[in-house]
Structure 1
C-alpha cells in the first residue's frame, strides 16, 4: 500500500467540559490542535490530512495551517454523548468525495494527545500494513491491574477484585500484562473500519507507547502535566543543540 492511499483524520470538537476550548488553547506557544497536525505532516505518510469539527474557529485554524480538507461535523455527531466512530466515517467519506479518492487505510489522531512523536504514528501504521490485522490502537502499560489492585462493587456495595485467577497474584509484576488505551493513534484498513469500526476486535494489534507520551488531556491536571513535560523536553533539546554548536 502506498502513501497516496492513506488518509489521516483529526476530529476536534468545539465543546469540552473538562478543559473548555482546549483544542485552540495555546500549549507551548501554539494551539493544541496544531501539535497533532504537525506530527501528521512530519510523517510524510498521508495523501491527505482532514480535520472534522463543529466549530468555525477550529476549522479556520486547520484551514490556515494547511489541512487538505476541513469537514463541518453535523450537530448530532458533536454532542458530549456522541460516539466518535460516526464522526471519523463522516470525515473520511467527505474527504473522499471532495478529493475523488477512495483510501485503502486510515489513521485517526486525537488532538488531545500531543505528546506522541511522529515515529509513533509511523510505527502504528507500519504495524497495520505489515501484520495483516484489521486495525491498530496505541496503548500504554496500565498502572493498575484488574488481577491485583483494581476492584469493583457488588450488589451489596462490598468490594471485590475485578478479575480473579486460580492462583492469586501477590505482586503486581506477576499479574498478566494489561494496557490502557491511551487515545493517541488509531489505524484501520478501510475495509475493516467500514464493515464495523470497533476499536477492539479479534484482529486488533496493540502499539505500545511509554507513559510519558500517553497523556490524553481531559482535565486541567492533565493539561499541566503535558505542559510540564513539553517544557522539560524543550529545555533538554536546547541544551543538546547548544552542546553540538562549536
Structure 2
C-alpha cells in the first residue's frame, strides 16, 4: 500500500502564503490534492503543515489525514526529510495501517501530469529500486557551459568531460531536479543515508511540467500555463 503526502509549510518568503494563493480558480495546494485523487493510486492523502489554514484548504480539496507539524519541524532551517518521516509515521498511527511505499508531492510544482505520478509509482515498484526522484533535461551542462572558479578566480568547467565536447548536445545528458515528486520504499525512507544510492531512479519530465514556484515570476508563469491548459481543455470539449 502506497501513502501519498504533501508537506506544505505556512511561512513563505519568496511568495507570501503561496500554498493558499488562488491560481487557476483554486488554492495552489488543491491542485496537487486533485492530481493525487485523479491518479486513483492512493487510499489516503496525508498533509503535513504548521498552518491550520493550509490543513483546512487541503481537507476541503479531498485530503483525509491532516497532520499538524511540530514547531521544530516548521522553521526556515528544518530539513525536509525529517518532516516527511514524521508525516509518514503520523499517518500510520492515525490509520493503523502499515504502508510499504511513500510518494511525496510538492504543492509548489502543480504543472505535473497525473501520468508523472503513475510513472513514479511504477518505477518505485521495480525490483532493486529504493527511491525515485524527478527532473527535467538541464539547460546548462557541467561538461560544457557551467563553470567554477578556483581560489585564484580562474574559471574552469565544473566537470571535465572524458573527451572533447564542442557542442552541448555532445555532452552527457544532465537533468535538473524539479522537486515535483519523490518516492521511497518504507525501508529507504528511514534507513537510506543519501538521496542518491544505487537503487535511486529518475523519472524525466518535460520542462513545461517542471516549474517549481519560488518567486512571483514563477507564480505568474505557472498561472499563465495553467490558464492556457484550461482554455485548451475547454476548447477540446466544446
TM-score (structure 1 length as normaliser): 0.94
Which consecutive residues of structure 2, in runs of 5 or more, have no partner in the other structure? none
TM-score (structure 2 length as normaliser): 0.97
Query: Offset of 1:157 from its aligned partner?
Result: 2.1
Give, in whole Å, the separation in 2 of the partners of 1:34 and 1:209. 21
Mapping of residues 118-129 of structure 1, within 5 Å: 118-129=114-125
Give, in whole Å, the separation in 2 of the partners of 1:87 and 1:213. 25
Which consecutive residues of structure 1, in runs of 5 or more, have no partner in the other structure? none
Structure 1 runs of 4+ with >4 Å offset: none
Deviation readout 1:152-173 (Å, 9 max, x if unpaired): 1211222211011242311000
Give, in whole Å, the separation in 1 of the partners of 2:15 and 2:124. 32
Distance 1:166 1:105, change over 3 A: closer
Q: Please say if residues 44 and 64 of structure 2, whose CA atoms lie closer than 8 Å, have aligned partners that are also in contact.
A: yes
Match of 1:159 among 155, 162, 175: 155
Mapping of residues 47-62 of structure 1, within 5 Å: 47-62=43-58
Size of the aligned set, in residue pairs, is: 238
Give, in whole Å, the separation in 2 of the partners of 1:165 and 1:64. 51
Find the counterpart in structure 1 of residue 223 from structure 2: 227
Distance 1:63 1:235, change over 3 A: closer
Give, in whole Å, the separation in 1 of the partners of 2:144 and 2:227. 35
Cα RMSD of the aligned pairs, angstroms, is 1.1
Find the counterpart in structure 1 of residue 19 from structure 2: 23
Find the counterpart in structure 2 of residue 147 from structure 1: 143
Find the counterpart in structure 2 of residue 70 from structure 1: 66
Find the counterpart in structure 1 of residue 85 from structure 2: 89
